[in-house]
Structure 1
Amino acid sequence: MYDTIIIGAGPGGYLAAERLGHHKKKVLLIEEQHLGGTCLNVGCIPTKTLLNSAKLYVHAKEAGKFGVTAADVSFDWGVIQKWKEEVSAKLREGIAGQMKRFGVDVANGRGEILTPPRGSTPGKVKVTLSGGGTEEHEGRTILVSAGSVPAIPPIPGSKDNPRVVDSTGLLGVSSVPKRLAVIGGGVIGVEFAGLFSSFGSEVTVIEMMDEIIPFMDKEQAPLFRRALTGVNFKLGCKVEKIEGATVHFTPKGKAPEAVEADLVLVAVGRRPVLNTWGAEAAGLDLTPKGVNVDDRMRTNIPGVWAAGDVTGKSLLAHSAYRMAEVAVADILTNLDGSAPGTSNRMRYNAVPWAVYGVTEAAGVGMTEQEAAAKGIAIRKASLPMRVSGRFAAENTFTGQGAVKVIADAATGCILGVHAVGAYASEFIWGGAALIEQELRIEDVKQIIFPHPTVSELIRDAVWGL
């Protein structure tokens, strides 16, 4: 019998297995496809690998501005794809090594809860093995980390259309499409738009909302959009149908239009996987957004926890990591009979987000608009990226970007940090730390930032408050 059975080996699942194994618990980790889940195999890591190649290509072409001549710059898509696969494979090997190191058993198959744990009676989980056959295992506790899949809206002409793909399909294309239409201006759609436009595709993004990345600060979203110079954006548009690779849409208050492409990416978000692992039969409380959990990642059934995208709370790999850590702390309490701690609770007010590419965007905490909606009076300061010595030295002066900091006018506590420009994804964690620790303007002014770094703009913006 296992102490914990984990369904799903994405970021939440494999990290939880590692942490529990570290505490000498007997763990079974079940994964139907590959260790690492969506993030490592068809999400975060493959896209960032391709984006790195795109950045190298763009920087090589622009190197003359910095006094470096690179002649006959070109790219080999086949080699790029091969490198992408090598990176994912190497990282999968690393996860497998960690599971072995911590004594975690791994089952390759689809996990399904037959009966949840009840008091001293262990739960039962069936594994339909990928190689054929089934197994049944008992566990004192169960953690569900079943992940998510691309959400595909019922657009007429999209079903069974070989020229319409989701993010997984676009990652595996054999060549760069000459023309790409992207339905959806969220994180996934914008990252792919920037990626393929860097490689020469004519890219059009069609978005229903009036601006891309709808959760971005409204002052920063236009900055980011304008920085994506190779992408044509159609905002405030409703997609009506797809014919072949031609997307028909209607802008607000205007006549219908159409965009002809060679390939169409549907990137309107992701949805949690709720129908393959026995959620309803187990009696779990479900909503269309995901599995209901509390701030310790407990479900409505004692002995069953959930973490990551399957909860619908925050569909980010780093959120899944933190959810797993919180769940593990509570699972250990359950297994060992100790009193629950007070600090291991899931909080969402300081979860950073990032959009990657040649130009990046990132943020954490409240936007100015969210603060206004909550009736919070704020102080704000924004600085252009070009005033940073590091940014000026490594980027053209025409580069778009800014760092914006928002603070509570009454208390001085930092409420939000938002950035558009190179390196934004690498320093946004600092904003998360300021918000998580509830630091005030006066506190941040005393922190020493290394010079020259782009992260100094956070400090400079705080002084600007």
Structure 2
Amino acid sequence: MENYDVAVIGGGPGGYVAAIRAAQLNKKVVLIEREHLGGICLNWGCIPTKALLKSAELFQKIKHAEEYGIIVGEPQFDFKKIIQRSREISAQLTAGIKFLLKKNKVTLIDGCAAFETNKILNIDNKGQKFSIQADNIIIATGARARSLEGFITDGKQIITSKEAMILDKLPKSLIIVGSGAIGIEFASFYNALGTKVIILEAKKNILQSEDAEISSIVKKIFTKKGIIFYTNVKLLNHTKQRDHLTIEVEIDGVRQQLSSEILLMAIGIVGNTEHLNLERTKIQVEKGHIVTNQFMETSQPGIYAIGNVTAPPWLAHKASHEGIIAAETIAGLKAHPINKQNIAGCTYSFPQIASVGLTEEKAKNAGYDIKIGKFPASANGKALIDGDSEGLIKTIFDAKTGELLGAHLIGTEVTELIQGYVINKTMEGTEADLINTIFPHPTLSEMMGEAVLQAYGRALHIISE
């Protein structure tokens, strides 16, 4: 039986990073992956969805080319080529991961892993069975889309985000259940290409994790684009016809029927734990996700868990960092635990949405005396140059200490801007650090500085209230 210092189960953005970092720290590492290197993120999530969104964004830009003084004919798109491009990008990145693992001398095993003991894993590679032993094991098996009783996905009329990325043809109508990042991104993509999109949300507001003011702005912008929102929705049942579904819902207590070609379920995820034989260990699972300490170690010493199989937020960049923490802890280094308030969330719709830290409501509920600053994209020169003047940057500070408690952005390229606030929070900076930062001109980043100035009554390019 081959023995390793570290065995990693799952080759997604958490698993492959953990394997590489452990190998860098002179550990003998094996990575077991059952399907695709890169996991959901590279193959069916972050990367391909952003490729789809980029194509849709470019199509919309070309449609409005005359606003920039450019004369073009009526633009058209090839839906199959849009899908193909996203798949090619995913394949290219997956090949790159395989190369990195090889260069770092990580052994790669194709197959499924399950615990025999807390040190021994049984591997099944399409019927070929064998076992390996590891002093430390990192579980990075990810998660899958959560299903809803009575609305089980069939891959054709009721689908998950995976099928939404590889449809054979553009649907004329689409109902999306769930208004989180996944639901909003697919709504943005299909709406931009001409699909009639309806979003159903069980809660009062869309984008539950975002600041309420930002969510309200998103809803107004998307409604103007033709996307229909229903909130306070309860799904009752559905019937399937040959070319569409009829969905019976209750909206604010009133029953009604909605119809569309496809129903996309985007209501969260469930950790992939059921085939690991966790009962042969002391690992604890709560609400479908593995419980860990701040160094990603489970209740079974020597076994760690990272990424979407653990606690939220369920983000690829968090998974990668957790992989580093686990690998460095195993190697005996003093790893720094994650502060979840310093993790940015990004939604790549049109316009984009990005945030870090506390919302206004949560800051108030936590007892903070706060200062709030806002700056609109319509007052920024670069946003006007780009033709993307819809948006807002909102900052929230502790009035007593000047600590940045939260930042909430909506607008063009805000997923790139958010890192500036993340760095400030990570370094425990204050409003003084941001005010004394010289932002280059003309750039979108100037809005970041102005939003801070406005919080302290010093805004230069809008009138401070």
Q: Mapping of 1:248-397 within 5 angstroms?
A: 248-253=248-253, 255-333=254-332, 340-341=333-334, 344-396=336-388
CA distance in 1, matches of 2:319, 2:89: 21
Is 1:404 the counterpart of 2:403? The answer is no
Deviation string for 1:323-352 (max 9, x for gaps)?
11111110111xxxxxx52x5212211110
Residue number in structure 2 paired with 1:230:
226
Tell me the equivalent position of 2:463.
none
* Counterpart residue number, 1:208: 202
2:374–2:452 CA contact under 8 A, matched in 1: no
Q: CA deviation at 1:199?
A: 0.6
User: Equivalents in 1 of 2:5, 2:344: separation in Å?
Assistant: 32
Give the superposition deviation at 1:107. 0.7
Greater CA drift, 447-456 or 40-49: 447-456
Correspondence for 1:32: 34
- Residue 72 (structure 1) shift: 2.5
Contact 1:143–1:306, Cα closer than 8 Å, also in 2: yes
Q: Give the structure 2 partner of residue 138 of structure 1.
A: 133
* 8 Å contact kept, 1:4–1:25: yes
Question: 1:17 corresponds to which residue?
Answer: 19
CA distance in 2, matches of 1:282, 1:242: 41
3-state SS, counterpart of residue 3 of structure 1 = strand
| Residue-by-residue CA offset, 1:240-283 (whole Å, 9 max, x unaligned) | 11212222111114x21222101110110111112111222222
- The alignment status of 1:149 with 2:139, answered yes or no, reads no
Match of 1:54 among 53, 56, 60: 56
In the TM superposition, what is the alpha-carbon distance from 1:159 to its structure 2 partner?
Answer: 5.3
Equivalent in the alignment of 1:41: 43
Letter in 1 for 2:353: A
Shift, 1:24, TM fit: 2.3
* Contact 1:10 1:38 survives alignment (8 Å): yes
Q: Does 1:429 align with 2:423?
A: no
Q: Which residue of 2 aligns with 1:443?
A: 433
Runs of at least 5 residues in structure 1 that lack an aligned partner in the other structure:
117-122, 334-339
Deviations 1:411-441, CA, capped at 9 Å, x for gaps: 1111111101110111111111111111111
Cα distance in 2 for residues equivalent to 1:108 and 1:225: 44
SS at structure 2 position matched to 1:6 = strand
Equivalents in 2 of 1:162, 1:34: separation in Å? 22
Show the counterpart of 2:459.
none
Match 1:195 to one of 189, 193, 213: 189
- Give the secondary structure class of the aligned counterpart of 1:115: coil
Q: CA deviation at 1:357?
A: 2.1
User: C-alpha displacement at 1:319, in angstroms?
Assistant: 0.5
Verify the 8 A CA contact 1:185 1:212 in the aligned structure 2: yes
Cα RMSD of the aligned pairs, angstroms, is 1.3
Deviations along 1:219-242, one digit per CA (max 9) or x if unpaired, are 111111222223111111111112
Does the Cα contact within 8 Å between 1:271 and 1:312 map onto a contact in 2? no
Deviation string, structure 1 residues 96-124 (Cα, Å, up to 9, x no partner): 000010000111111112111xxxxxx11
Counterpart in the other structure of 1:217: 211
Whole-angstrom CA distance in 1 between matches of 2:18 and 2:327: 6
Q: Mind listing any 5+ residue stretches in structure 2 that lack a counterpart?
A: 456-465
Q: 2:68 aligns with which of 61, 66, 69?
A: 66
Shift >3 Å, 4+ stretches: 157-162
* Partner Cα separation in structure 2 for residue 270 and residue 62 of structure 1: 37
Percent sequence identity over aligned pairs: 30
How many residues are aligned here? 447
